[in-house]
Amino acid sequence: MKKTIVILFFLLSFFLPVISNSGQLLAHIDKMIFLQGKVGEKTLTLKIKCYNESPVRYLDYFFDDKKTDQYMEGNFIGNTWQFISLETEKTEKNLVIREEKDGNWKGYWREGSDKKINVILYPINVNPEANYFYYSKSKELDPYDSYKVFIFQLDKIKTEKAAKNFQLEWLTEKESGISFFRVQNENKKVNCDSINKNLEQIQLAILQDYFRFNPNRSNLNIQAELLYLNEGIISFKIITSMSFKNQPEVKTQQFFTLDMQTGQSVDLESLIWFDPQNPKPAANEITQTYEYRKAIFAPKLFSILSELYPQQMQSTDCKLNEVTSWAIPNFALTKKGFLFCLSYSKDCNLMDWAIIPYEKLTPYLEKKYKLN
């Protein structure tokens, strides 16, 4: 379970901003109000952030058919809160609301010169029986984000052959266009429930970020690609292309290698061990593992890669020619062998040539996953 949490934490920490929409640290928020109601035929969901030190209130909102966060700022005038959209939006939007004695909020919504639409907003109530409630609970999401996750609709778009006795079922979220796979075992020898639960959580985390407020982001495209699959292990990558206003596109990739039975992350020491004279340290013995990586793993990996790719390994780009660079590489399994890359820059992260065939590593491979 701990390794599963680490996977999601790493994925989310890669995407999530460290500050709130207003630029103020989330730790300063004194109170949050979560409301929902109808604007005509559409459902409006919102979150109001209140700061003790500021008379301004900050509001995130979305509609069911447009789930990307939008943003407003508001001031208390008379006995009502008057919120207005950012100046960068093409059409000005206004929300004017007042809290009633029964805890509900009443007021109106208006876009541009359109007529005012009366609204009644109620506290958000997320049913524990709702879709993906387990995910919202495990991530301790607030009612605003919990409801957004609840309305994610993942539709099956295709099924394709992936490996011997395995198929991939692809599910997509229509508004974002983001697709992700689940694994099906054709002969039913492998129970795929745990791995598919983990894959579902990764897709939900990706969708959460896609719909998050970010006024400077002009494009975000995320794709998953299967690299290796057998009855014991799966390896895949997530490729992210992101661009911001007046900035060139940035492309990155993340590798995931998971145990098919548990859905948990598999580390390098569970796959390759270059020190047969000594036992492997426990998974939580980080210092001992790092010492092994520096003293034994990195030199051996560097030696093998230098033998296979002598020209590339002499390059100073990404510090490829330095042994210590290879102590903590990114890795994935592929049909051809282990793929390694480094994380010094986006170019290093996208390396695709540093592959070591499985037969080259046969004396050092752990037998559990039957890599070939």
Q: What is the pLDDT of residues 235-244, one digit of tens each?
A: 999 999 988 8
At 344, is the pLDDT very low, low, confident or very high (cuts 50, 70, 90)?
confident
At 28, is the pLDDT very low, low, confident or very high (cuts 50, 70, 90)?
low
Same domain (yes/no): 204, 250: yes
Reported as type and span, the H/E element at residue 43 is strand 42-51
Task: Give the integer Cα–Cα distance in Å for 72 and 59.
Answer: 5
Q: Which residues contact 29 (CB under 8 A, 6 or more apart)?
A: 20, 49, 50, 51
Same domain (yes/no): 116, 25: yes
CATH number of the domain at 90, please: 2.40.128.120
Please state the rounded mean pLDDT for residues 198-220.
Answer: 91
Helix (H, G, I), strand (E, B) or coil at 336: coil
Task: Give the integer Cα–Cα distance in Å for 203 and 210.
Answer: 10
* pLDDT higher than threshold 70 for residue 9: no
Cross-strand partners of 229: 234
pLDDT at residue 111, rounded to an integer: 92
pLDDT at residue 193, rounded to an integer: 96
At 29, is the pLDDT very low, low, confident or very high (cuts 50, 70, 90)?
low
Q: What is the pLDDT of residues 118-159, one digit of tens each?
A: 999 999 998 888 899 999 999 999 999 999 999 999 999 999
Q: What is the pLDDT of residues 108-118, one digit of tens each?
A: 999 988 889 99
Query: 348 lies in a domain?
Result: yes
Same domain (yes/no): 291, 250: no
Same domain (yes/no): 235, 296: no
Same domain (yes/no): 168, 250: yes
pLDDT at residue 13, rounded to an integer: 45
Tokens representing 145 are 């984000």
CATH number of the domain at 209, please: 3.30.565
pLDDT at residue 32, rounded to an integer: 92
Same domain (yes/no): 7, 97: yes
Q: 217-229 and 233-244 as β-strands: parallel, antiparallel, unpaired?
A: antiparallel
Q: Count the domains in the chain.
A: 3
List C-alpha distances in Å: 14 to 17, 87, 227, 371. 9, 29, 21, 29
* pLDDT higher than threshold 80 for residue 233: yes
Task: Give the integer Cα–Cα distance in Å for 239 and 258.
Answer: 17
Please state the rounded mean pLDDT for residues 49-66.
Answer: 88
pLDDT at residue 325, rounded to an integer: 95
Torsion sign, CA atoms 265, 270, 272, 278: positive
Same domain (yes/no): 114, 189: no
At 16, is the pLDDT very low, low, confident or very high (cuts 50, 70, 90)?
very low
Q: Residues for the chain: how many in total?
A: 372
Task: Give the integer Cα–Cα distance in Å for 298 and 320.
Answer: 12
Query: 135 lies in a domain?
Result: no
Query: 129 lies in a domain?
Result: no
Task: Give the integer Cα–Cα distance in Å for 46 and 107.
Answer: 14
Can you give the residue range of the structural domain that contains 285? Answer: 268-369
Same domain (yes/no): 11, 117: yes
The residue with greater pLDDT, 225 or 9, is: 225
Query: 7 lies in a domain?
Result: yes
Do the beta carbons of residue 247 and residue 241 sit within 8 Å?
no
Same domain (yes/no): 119, 161: no
Identify the domain boundary among 208, 240, 259. Answer: 259
What is the average pLDDT value for the chain, to the nearest integer? 89
Please state the rounded mean pLDDT for residues 297-306.
Answer: 98
